[in-house]
Each structure stands twice: as structure tokens, then as C-alpha cells.
Amino acid sequence: MAHAYTPGLKVTANSIVKKERRLPIKGKVLVKVGDEVTASNIVATTSLPGDVEPLNLAGKLGVPPSDIREYLVKTEGDSLEEGEIIAQTRGLFGLFKTVIKSPIKGMLENISDITGQLILRAPPKKVEIDAYTDGKVVEVIENEGVVIETVATFVQGIFGIGGEAKGVIKKIATSPDDIISTDMIKKEHEGKILIGGSFVDSNTLKQAANYGVSGIVVGGIDDQDLRNFLGYDIGVAITGSEDIGVTLVITEGFGKMDMAERTFELLCAQDGKKASINGATQIRAGVLRPEIVIPLPGEKPEEIEQESKGLEIGYPIRVIREPHFGAMGKVSELPPELQQIETEAKVRILGVELEDGSKIALPRANVEMIEE
Amino acid sequence: MGNKEINAILATDCGSTTTKAILIEKKNGEYRLVVRGEAPTTVEAPFEDVTKGVLNAIREVEELADKEILAGEKIITPRVGERKGVDLYISTSSAGGGLQMMVAGVVKTMTAESAARAALGAGAIVMETIASNDGRLSYEKIELIRKLRPDMILLSGGIDGGTVKHVVQLAEIIGAADPKPRFGTGYNLPVIYAGNKDARDSIKENLEKKTDLSIVDNLRPLLEMENLEPARREIHDLFMEHVMAHAPGYKKLMNWTEVPIMPTPGAVGLLIKTIAENEKIQVIGVDIGGATTDIFSVFQKIFNRTVSANLGMSYSISNVLAEAGVENIMRWVPFKVDRKYLRNMIKNKMIRPTTIPQTLKGLQLEQAIAREALRLAFVQHKSMAVGLKGIQQERTISDAFSQAATGASLVDMMHLDLVVGSGGALSHAPRRNQAAFMVIDGFLPEGVTRLAVDSIFMMPQLGVLSTVNEKAATEVFDKDCLIRLGTCIAPVGNGKEGRPCVTVSLEDKKIEVNYRDMVLIPLGVGEKKEAIITPTKSFDVGAGKGKQLKTLVDGGIVGLIIDARGRPFELPEDDSKRIELLTRWNNALAIYPEKM
């Protein structure tokens, strides 16, 4: 059996989607197994320790570190108000005291006789996580979070920016090769997840962010436009925490890329439905792909082939590198021997019959399987 | 293992992009490579299990060698007859992107720098270096530690018997930051303390409860002495135990191998050290991978290793663009290319890292990017491979604190004997001439330098094999792995284009080369010829300006390359002139097929 180098992205009309919702540190889970939740419900909460404020008390008082306890009026564990006196010297006959006040509201956490330093800690910050998608709680991870399960249309993109967002699907392209322009973005698109065609530029993204659009899904974007929108070049593909006002998911690649027909049809069919989108992408160990999740309440999941197949004759593929980038076809040949390509490299190739009937030979590394 | 008869060895390397498997067998008393298989690394969904990629690569080996190695998902061992099973299975890995750590030291240019060297030498990626005197306020240091979430922290500072105050302060800062590991909850972050032994109790007080603290010998026990090995070993061991174990499927893979899985940079570094020791030469090795470019050097018998974590040809390819700039990449391309097109092409490779160039132009663009990755990685390596400050004379503490300059780099290109290239972009270049040219452009060797390349990228596997069967590793390395490309003669100096630069007299011919020209002279593998190299008065080939050098030059699969383009090396800014020069050099070295 031949192996494709790139398993395809998941694009399913109706399947079970599970999402793990986990706190960054241990806390309290607010729901239980069996609970039905909506995307904005808070499912777990915790407190992050407050920011630390070190204070060089020995330096400020002008005394050796080992002596600082003599001058402290507070001790480890005491709460503090901003401006409250922490330490003071006796001064000369009660005059010319040096008084040290707390710069923050919080707590005195640690006193060091060796360095003469105090560690003050600000009050803890509340951290909450929501369900992200409508669904049912199927598992509770004790003190950490939950797993939510839903039946949904699930579409993975190839790259994205921006984090989690929720909205309503809104189709604004009429075909997968449409270019999304600035005038197509309207004020009433606030809170929507716009389904586009082949391309969006930085000006259009800025317009979308200004209007409060939740997300945009298109086939492609120019890297230069991405740089213009973000203000910097992306070095390594680890995204998701950009503060940009709109989440972008591209489904095909960089450049003007027609969205795959199937992806376009699936997303447009859900026009008007609630959805969740996440642009977070990590193309490194533990790959994370951007996604759109559209719950289908009341529907039953369809049977899905779990095991990924290898390449076989007749299997549908898409070309993922120049030349013929984006072209769809079927595997027509799988010659086992290495063959020489234009670069003079000897590689494993496959024969592909494209949708227009023409036949081409490509390196196996340059196709991706279409998962049905 | 010494008593076991080993006739068939299976070795895998799990890279960030691909997993490679090689089969080595003993035939007629010597070990030789039989076949090599490759499959995509499967740390990503839907697999999330590195062993799947390993099995796929082994299946390819089975297919190509017409042998049975697997019974289902188990490796058949020991070998049964000629066609079934293997006697030994070993593996290396760099999948997971490697070990990302922070180092902290008291003095930026002393203990902090030594700590960085220890970390880099262990194959780690140093995300950030913190020092008492780095100019940042305490709360800034704390925020940095929290934000970066390193896999591990190395803390050093203070010579043994010296003051403890500064290093304890750093420990307080680390404790206050309460650092959490990258991958989920459930275990404490490993912190290694390798500083003043008098501070150990205070360090424990600050960090024992909040971190997984280990204490090793001071890595700078005296100002003029470095002792990096204990810290390096601890980093390596903790990496294997903690960090790799959390990458998907590694625990399973660890159970399959008879010896511990070695991080790929560690294995390649072993091999480079071996070459330098056996041949008593100064060597540079480079492994240009998908996510990282690792450089190893042995100068003055001192081994140095750097892992440039964000320079690579697939996952990190966009970072090469970000760091080099689009102009620096385009300057190596021998045709006009639209900047927008180039940027998109690079990003598309980043998001689909396992694709390969199909067209010649695609190949030329990728090789231009490889040149910049090599160049930038080498710049980093040269800055880290420095002599120890203060080693020439005894210094007082105040002298040491006031010292501003870093030590001079150990890297000396004029006295470099050999460059060995490894990694996909070099090993899989369709013509060996392309690999030779990328190495020359990336490193700009000076004087007389031999060039070699790893034939199919198996140095990692041979490195780990050398720890269990040195005979097998050495034989396969010599006979099947190392491809001798030839020798590069590069005079140092600049002159006027078209004017004489250097004359090279071999036994049967005399070649006069003008400035800005390159010449390729056929000289085959195993051939050695005496060369009399006479530079004109502005140029130096190792004996001084204008001075003649007599030396033996080795042939190889490419031959003898005379690079009279000048050192320092520059390309013209004018596109047409630059393209004309690049095309001329490509043709001179037969880099690409005739039609280009």
C-alpha cells in the first residue's frame, strides 16, 4: 500500500466532534457529565496567582539584608493595601524615619534575609473557560476541565490567525472563486462568520475587524497582505493569540486559491446557523489546525470510516504544490519504481487524472488525499 | 550487546518532517547499507503517534529490500535466516521540535554565557538568557519566564566559594515566576542548578517545592575554568525523561529500542567529533532539517554545537524569510522572481512541509533559501563557539565584572580542513554539485577546504549506532554514508573583475583564474594530486598575501572547485548583473541542466 505524505484536512458534513476544555492550572469544574451546554456557558473556573512585585527593602532602608525583619511591620501572609506601611526605621529620636509603603494592593508573600528582598503578590486573576461549542458534557477531567461532544459540520483550514470566536454563518460569496472585497463587508455582518471564496486582502480584513465581524473563511490570502494586516512577518507557524479583532481561516493556501467545492458547499449549506471558529494554528509537533465547528442539534452522526486509507487507484486527491496547485483529480497509476522529475530528483510519483480529463505525473509528496 | 552476533541492524531517525529507516547488513565480513525507507513523521492528527511513521518507514524498507521485518506492528528480532527480522533496532529523534530552555546566570558575559553554551551543547534551543546584570528589572524577568514557558531552566552563577547573593536572587525570581511546563499540567518544570555550591541550600529552599530541582557541579567553578559536562548530561537525561516522554508515541518507541533514543543533534555531533579525532583535523558539520539547522565544529580540539531552532527548510522556512529578509533570499536566485510569489511559495511550504520542488525554478528557489538558512545558522554558531574569557591570565573579580568584550570566535575558516553537510536539502540535492555550491555559499570557506555530504542523510542513525557497534557505524560511514565531493580553493581578498586572481598548477595542468570567476576541474573520488597554488599579491590562500602554497588536494564526486569570487563575498545590487554572474557560476560548476 502506498503512503501519501500529507493526510487531508478534515472536512465532514456530519460527525461527532469532541472538544477538550481545560484550565491552565487546576481549579473548579462547574458542570457535570450529561449537562447540555451552549457555547458561551462557563464550564470551569480558577484563579491565576497575581503578578509579583519584588521590593528591595534592604536597599531602600539602607540596612544589611539580615536585619530587615527588625524594621518590618508586616509579616509573610499579611494582606496589604496600596500605600500601606510595610516597614520603617526608628529614625533619630523618632524623627527622620524612613518609611516604606506597599506599591500594590495584595499580599506579602516572602521575606529574604539573604537578599534583603520582599516578594509582594497582587490579588489573583479569575480565569474562566467556556464550552466553545453547543453540546453535551461527556467527560469531566477532575479540577481541570471537561470534554464537550456535539454532532456538527466540521471544517479544518490549512492556516489561520486569531483565536476562538463565536458567530452565525453568513455566506457572502456566490462561488468558491469569488474575491472578497471591502465593499462586500457590511455593518450588519457584526458577529457573523463570513464564508468567502478564493481571496481576501488586508484592507478587507481591517474593514471586517472594524465592523466586529467574528470570522472570515476563504481559500487564500497573499502573505504580503497577512504581513500588512498583522504588522509583522510570521516566522514560525504558531498562531492563535493575535489581538486583531477578527479570526481568519484559510482553507487552501497562500495566494489566490479557489476554496475546495466541497468545503464551500458544506459551509454555505449552514448559512444562518450558530458556529464557532478558531484560527489557532501550530505546524509543529502536536499540530493544531484552524477550524470551524457548526453544531447540528438533534441530528444523528453519520457512519464514518475511521481508518485513514493509503493511496489507491481511483482515490480522489488534490494537488498541493505548484504546478497545478489546487487541481483535483483521481489516482490513475502508482508506479513503484523511483522516477526522475524535472529537477532531476528521483522520487516516487503517481499518475493523476485531473477533473478536465488530462493526465499528469506528480511526486507523491505533492498531493493530499481527499477525506470523504 | 557485545556478546550478541549482529548481522542485521535497523535504525530510524524521527525528524520533524520525515521519518527515515535504514537497513544495514553484514556481508562478507563487512557492514554495508542495504536500503533506506522514508515516511512522513506522524506526530500530527489523526495519528498523534510517532510510531506510526516509524512503522510506515520500516514497511518501505521491507518493500525495497524484499524482506520481512515486521510481524504486525512488532519488529522481528533477532534475525531469522537471510530474509526475516533484524538483530538490533535503534533510533534517534528530533521530532517535537527539540528542547526549548531558558538559562540564567549572574554575569551576562560569563556564567550566563557558559550556561548558554552548556544548553546549546546538549542540543537545546536557548529561548532566552537572563542575567543579574542584563539591564532588565526583576518583574520583567519574571514576566519573561512566565510568558516563554520553557521546557527546562538552567541556573548558574557564582564561582565556588564566592558570593551567593546574586544567584539566590535569581532563584527567587524563578520561584516567584512559578514557571509551568508547556505541555499540560501534572508535572513540575525541571530546573537544574549548576552554580556556586555554597548557595545550594538557599536554592533548594526557594525552588525545591515549586520545581523539579536537580543540582549538579558548578559549570563555572573558577572564573578561568568551565565545567559544562555535568550540566550537559543532566539536561540530556532530563530531556529524555521528561520532555521527549511527553511527545505523542515516544514512550512506546522507547520500549522498542535496545538503547535509549538519542536526540538527533547528539548523534550527528558524535560522528563529527569522531571524524575530527580520527583524522586530526578541524571540521564543520551541518544538518539542515525541516525545523532546525544544527551546526557542529571542532576547532583547536574544542567541540561546539549550536541548534538554530528557527531556521529550517519546512516548518521554520518562513522564519528564514523573516530573519534574512526577502532581498537576501532573492539575491541567490538566477532569474527574476516576483516578491509576492516568493513570499507565498515560502508560506505554502511552511503549511505543507512535506512537499518537494517539482520544477527546476522551484528547486532553485528552495536552494536559495537553504543558503540563507546555512548562513544565518553559521553566524549564530560563530558567536557561540568562543574561547573562554579570562583564560589567558588570572583575573580578579572586579576585572572580570568590568570586562566588556566577548571572547574571539574559535571558528577559523582559513584553517578549516573539512565541511560535512547533512539534512534533506543537502543530501537530497539532485546533483551533488548543488550541495557543494550551497555549502560554499553558506559557509564561505577560505583557503583550501575539503567538502563532503551525507549521501542519504543517515548520520544520526550512524551516530547512535557507534555507541553500540562502532565497527558497523564506522564501516557504513566510510563506505556508504560519506560522499566526498572534492576540494574548494578560495583565495581571501578582493580585486577587479576580470583581472588575475590565482593560478593552480596540478601535475598535468595549469589553471589561471580571474577574479569573480569559478572553475571546476575534474578530479575523481580517491584521487589526490599535489597542487601549487599561487595567488596574486592581493590574495591569500593560507600562506600569506601573494604567497604560494603547496598542498595535496583531494578529488571527489564533484571535483576541484576554484572559487575566485572573493572574500569577503558580495553580490552586485543590480539584478541583471547579479543574474548574469549567478548564471555564469552555475554553468561553470554544472549546477543545473543545460537548458537553464
Ordered DSSP codes for B208-239: TTTSEEEE---S-SBTTB---HHHHHHHHHHI
Question: Cβ of B17 under 8 Å from any chain A Cβ?
Answer: no
Instruction: Give the position of cell 534575609.
Output: A113
DSSP state of A370: P
Q: How many CB atoms lie within 10 A of CB B398?
A: 8
pLDDT of B447 above 70: yes
- The minimum CA-CA distance between B41 and chain A, rounded to whole Å, is 9
- Measured between beta carbons, the chain B residues lying within 8 angstroms of A25 are 180, 185
Q: Are residues B118 and B200 in the same domain?
A: yes
Same domain for B81 and B137, yes or no, is no
Question: B43 and B187, same structural domain?
Answer: no
Q: Measure CA B131 to chain center.
A: 27
Give, in words, the CATH class of A52-121.
mainly beta
CA-to-CA dists, residue A184 to A174, A214, A228, angstroms? 12, 15, 20
Ordered alpha helix ranges (H), chain A: 57-61, 68-71, 202-210, 223-230, 261-268
Q: Does the CB of B362 have a partner CB in chain A at under 8 Å?
A: yes
Residue B315 lies in a domain: no
Nearest to B52 by CA among A251, A261, A310, A249: A310
- The CATH number of the domain holding residue B238 is 3.40.50.2300
Do B465 and B574 share a domain, yes or no?
yes
Contact call for A287 and B43, based on CB within 8 A = yes
pLDDT at B484 over 70: yes
Q: Mean pLDDT over all residues of chain B?
A: 86
Contact B409, B382 (CB under 8 A): yes
Instruction: Note whether A114 contacts B39, CB cutoff 8 Å.
Output: no
Q: Given B97, B164, B172, which is nearest A117 (Cβ)?
A: B172
* Residue B245 pLDDT greater than 70, yes or no: no
User: CB contact, 8 Å: B247 with chain A?
Assistant: yes
- A290 → chain B, closest CA residue: B351
Measured between CA atoms, the residue of chain B closest to residue A5 is B40
Q: How far away is chain B from the Cα of A305, in angstroms, using its nearest Cα?
A: 13
Q: Is the dihedral of CA B304, B309, B310, B316 positive or negative?
A: positive
Which of B169, B180, B319 lies closest to A115 in CB terms?
Answer: B169
Assess whether B442 and B579 both reside in one domain.
yes
Of B143-147, B340-344, B479-483, B487-491, which range is least confident? B143-147
Q: Give B176's contacts in chain A (Cβ within 8 Å).
A: 52, 54, 109-110, 119
Euclidean distance between CA atoms B509 and B503, whole angstroms: 10
Contacts of A342 in chain B (CB under 8 A): 358-360
If contacts are CB pairs under 8 Å, which of residues 294-313 in chain B contact chain A?
Answer: 310
Q: What's the pLDDT band for B126 if we cut at 50, 70, 90?
A: confident
> What CATH number should be reported for the domain holding residue B52?
3.30.420.40
Is the pLDDT at B198 greater than 70, yes or no? yes
Which residues of chain B from 199 to 228 reach within 8 Å of chain A, CB to CB?
A: 202
Nearest to A119 among B143, B176, B593 (CB): B176
Which class for A147: exposed (0-12), middle (13-18), buried (19 or more C-beta within 10 A)? middle
Class of domain A11-46+130-295: alpha beta
Chain B residues in contact with A49 (beta carbon < 8 A)? 178
The residue of chain A nearest to residue B201, with distances taken between CA atoms, is A114
B475 to chain A, any CB pair closer than 8 A? The answer is no
Residue of A26, A234, A287 with shortest CB distance to B45:
A287
Specify whether B477 is located in the same domain as B567: yes
A24/B316 Cβ within 8 A: no
Cβ distance of A283 and B350 shorter than 8 Å: yes
The DSSP symbol for B162 reads S
A–B: how many Cβ contacts below 8 A? 184
Together in a domain, B298 and B420: yes
Chain B stretch 262-281, residues whose beta carbon is closer than 8 A to a beta carbon of chain A: none
Note whether B247 contacts A286, CB cutoff 8 Å: yes
Q: Which residue of B has its CA nearest to A53?
A: B139
Asked if B346 and A223 come within 8 Å (Cβ–Cβ), the reply is yes
**Greater model confidence, B353 or A267:** A267
Burial class (CB in 10 A: 0-12, 13-18, 19+), B413: buried
Residues above pLDDT 70, as percent of chain B: 90
Give B537 to chain A, closest Cα distance, Å. Answer: 41
Banded model confidence at residue B176, pLDDT cuts 50, 70, 90 = confident
Query: Of B93, B108, B139, which residue constitutes the final position of a domain?
Result: B93
Predicted confidence band of residue B1 (pLDDT cuts 50, 70, 90): very low
Question: Which segment of A272-286, B124-138, B289-303, B351-365 scores lowest on mean pLDDT?
Answer: B124-138
Split into its structural domains, chain B has a count of: 3
Facing B358 at nearest CB: one of A223, A224, A321: A321
CA atoms within 13 A on the CB side of B49: 9
Among chain B residues, the shortest Cα distance to A366 is held by: B355
Extract the C-alpha cell encoding B445. Answer: 570557506
User: How confident is the model at residue B98, as a pLDDT?
Assistant: 61
The shortest C-alpha distance from A363 to chain B (Å) reads 7
On whether residue B361 sits in a domain, the answer given is: no
Shortest Cα–Cα distance, B163 to chain A (Å): 11
Q: What's the pLDDT score for residue A284?
A: 62
Instruction: Give the number of other Cβ atoms within 10 Å of residue A286's Cβ.
Output: 16
B chain contacts of residue A115, beta-carbon cutoff 8 Å? 165, 168-169, 172
In chain A, DSSP finds a helix count (H) and a strand count (E) of 5, 29
Asked if pLDDT for residue B292 goes beyond 60, the answer is yes
- Does domain A316-369 fall under CATH 2.30.30? My reply is yes
**Model confidence over B92-121: pLDDT tens digits?**
887 655 677 899 998 887 888 888 888 876
Identify all chain B residues contacting A26, using CB atoms and an 8 Å cutoff.
185
- Residue B78 pLDDT level (bands cut at 50, 70, 90): very high
User: At residue B588, does pLDDT exceed 70?
Assistant: yes
Model pTM score: 0.81
B434–chain A Cβ distance below 8 A for any pair: no
Say yes or no for a CB contact (<8 Å) between A158 and B351. Answer: yes
Q: Which residue has the cell 575566485?
A: B564
Task: Point out the domain boundary residue: B93, B118, B135.
Answer: B93
Partners of residue A365 in chain B, C-beta under 8 Å? 354-356
Q: How many helical (H) and strand (E) elements, i.e. helices and strands, does chain B have?
A: 18, 24
C-alpha B121/C-alpha B112 separation (Å) is: 14
Give the domain range for residue B45: 8-93
Cell of A106: 495584595
Contacts of A283 in chain B (CB under 8 A): 315, 350-351, 353
Provide the terminal-to-terminal Cα distance of chain B, rounded to the nearest Å: 53
Q: In this predicted structure, what is the pLDDT of residue A210?
A: 96
In this structure, are B504 and B569 located in the same domain? yes
Check B139 against A7: CB less than 8 A apart: no
Closest residue to B169, CB basis, from A117, A321, A341: A117
Distance between A23 CA and the closest CA of chain B, angstroms? 9
Q: Are residue B453 and residue B305 in the same domain, yes or no?
A: yes
In a domain, B171, yes or no: yes
CA distance B138 to chain A (A): 7
Q: How far apart are CA B95 and CA B250, in angstroms?
A: 10
Q: Going residue by residue through chain A, which has 372 residues, state the pLDDT in tens, using 9 for 90 and above.
A: 344 445 568 888 999 999 999 877 778 999 999 999 999 999 999 887 787 788 999 999 999 999 999 999 999 999 999 999 999 988 877 777 889 999 999 999 999 999 999 999 988 888 889 999 999 999 999 998 999 999 999 999 999 999 999 999 999 999 999 999 999 999 999 999 999 999 999 999 999 999 999 999 999 999 999 999 999 888 777 788 788 999 999 999 999 999 988 899 999 999 999 999 999 987 765 578 899 999 998 888 875 555 555 678 998 888 999 899 888 899 999 998 889 999 999 998 999 999 889 999 999 989 988 765
Phi, psi (5° rounding) for residue A294? Answer: -120, 100
Query: Residue B389 above 80 pLDDT?
Result: no
CA distance B141 to chain A (A): 11
- Which of B93, B126, B150 is a domain's end point? B93
Contact: A233, B172; criterion CB under 8 Å: no
Pairwise CA distance, residues A279 & A208, whole Å: 15
Is B306 found in the same domain as B441?
Answer: yes
When pLDDT is averaged across residues B572-577 and rounded to a whole number, the result is 93
pLDDT at B359: 94
Q: Tell me which of A254, A256, A362 to substitute to probe the interface with B (most B C-beta atoms closer than 10 Å).
A: A254
Interface test with B, best of A19, A119, A283, A287 (most B CBs within 10 A): A283
Q: Are residues B297 and B221 in the same domain?
A: no
129-148 in chain B: CB under 8 A from chain A: 138-139, 142-143
Mutation for testing the B interface, residue in A48, A114, A249 having most B CBs under 10 Å: A114
Q: Has residue B374 been placed in a domain?
A: no
The chain A residue lying nearest B319, using CA atoms, is A235
CA distance B4 to chain A (A): 34
Task: Report if residue B557 sits inside a domain.
Answer: yes
pLDDT tens sequence across B515-564? 999 999 999 999 999 999 999 999 999 999 999 999 999 999 999 999 99
The verdict on B172 and B156 lying in the same domain is yes
**Residue ranges of domains in chain A:** 11-46+130-295, 52-121, 316-369
Smallest Cα distance from A115 to chain B, Å: 6
Question: A15, A236, A241, A252: which to substitute to probe chain B, counting the most B Cβ within 10 Å?
Answer: A236
